[in-house]
Amino acid sequence: MDKDRGLDRKFAVPELIGNPDDLLIVCGLAGASKDIAHLTHDGDNIFTMAGAMGGATAMGLGLALSRPDKRVLVVTGDGELLMNIGTLSTVGILKPSNLSILCVDNGHYGETGYQESHTQRGVDLELIAQGSAIPVTRTVSMDEHINEAKALIRDSNGPSFILLRVSTEPPPVIKRSMDASERKTAFRRALLGKP
Amino acid sequence: MSDYGGKQAWQEELYDLLRSNDVDLFCYVPDGGHKTLINKSIEDPDVISVPLTTEEEGVAMCAGCHLGGTKSVLLMQSSGVGNCVNMFALLKNGQFPFVTLITMRGEFGEMNPWQIPMGQGVQPVVEAMGMHCLRAESPTEVTETVQAALNMAYKSNQAVAVLLTQKLIGAKPF
């Protein structure tokens, strides 16, 4: 096994996030959405996707700009992020202090048969985030990295980017709602008190 | 320098219309035809003005704004529509209200052949993705058309593209 990919996402993602109740979370398709739907029991403070690949970070950025009073977390995967890598630059120029991005990087396209992604072949998304002017970045590849990164997700002064390098162990199994309109309405009712 | 996209009365009125409808976030890829709206959004201290790297970011960003309770608009040129197509699925599946104002190239009087294919594709593409497509051909049509789009979006949860046509804006002289 790759020594930098020893962590299991089913352990590491919940450890990094802790209690998710005070966060607003936007999740990219596939593994990231399963991770967070499982963690929150498909809660009303999350918006998950099963398509619109490449949109999670921009959607979370829009939410963070809309609600500077709330902490917003984007959870995405390496493949999802690579599809719209320019969005990191948009985050970097705007620098919303209430936005964190957690990229669960397993180096593979898990949903389509675990083909290697670019990150398995030398591409470093943390360096890209740094080059995109995101002021706080970390790579988490071992247990001892988790506590510091966990604090940054909630408290960094400026947007933070956490690259979580994990093994190819699959995400948790969760039956989540695929009705994006119903989930949107539930999210808004919980946050805004109206549909 | 030509005055393509330069200030005209309808552009000032259009900005005021968007603001009076509580549109608080403007996102865009820089575009000559939208120059007035973009510059006014940058100068407005009460507006979040967001330059994008690609138009599809703006589609997802506007959906995120709606989750948070903010009204937004995506400004783009006709060529940008091609960059957005898969992301329009987010709007349709989520029934997100969405307004995009599209400055048209590739139609009336176009002198750059590279603009023609996507210019011709805009209306069939946005309609194929389940969006409404409204056209403004003259300055007198702009305000009522954009107001109609805002009403359809924010009162009926529709995704609406308003085409600011080349007859309205003029053919770009280069």
* Chain A touched by B25 (CB under 8 Å): yes
DSSP β-bridge partners for residue A24? A72
Q: Under an 8 A CB cutoff, do A65 and B89 touch?
A: no
Please give the domain boundaries of chain A with CATH numbers for all domains. Answer: 3-192 (3.40.50.970)
The reply to whether B4 falls in a domain is no
Measure the CA–CA gap between A156 and A144, rounded to whole angstroms. Answer: 19
Whether the per-residue pLDDT at A103 is higher than 60: the answer is yes
On whether the pTM is more than 0.90, the answer is: yes
Residue whose tokens read 């994990």? A166
Q: Which residues of A touch B (CB under 8 A)?
A: 24, 26, 47, 49, 51-67, 70, 84, 86-87, 89-90, 93-94, 180-181, 183-184, 187-188, 191-192
Three-state SS for A135-167 is: CEEEEECCHHHHHHHHHHHHHCCCCEEEEEEEC
Q: Which chain A residues are Cβ-neighbours of B62 within 8 angstroms?
A: 62
Q: Which chain A residues are Cβ-neighbours of B74 within 8 angstroms?
A: none
Domain containing B145 — which CATH number? 3.40.50.970
Q: Under an 8 A CB cutoff, do B67 and A62 touch?
A: yes
The reply to whether B18 falls in a domain is yes
Q: What's the ipTM?
A: 0.96
CA terminus-to-terminus distance, chain A: 47
A144 Cα to chain B: minimum distance (Å): 33
The reply to whether B15 falls in a domain is yes
pLDDT digits (tens, 9 = 90+) for B17-66: 999 999 999 999 999 999 999 999 999 999 999 999 999 999 999 999 99
Beta strands in chain A (DSSP E): 23-27, 46-47, 71-77, 99-105, 108-109, 115-116, 136-140, 160-165
The reply to whether B139 falls in a domain is yes
Residue-range definition of the domain harbouring residue B24: 9-169
- The tally of domains found in chain B comes to 1
* Chain A touched by B60 (CB under 8 Å): yes
Amino acid at A120: Q
Q: Are strands B159-164 and A108-109 parallel, antiparallel or unpaired?
A: unpaired
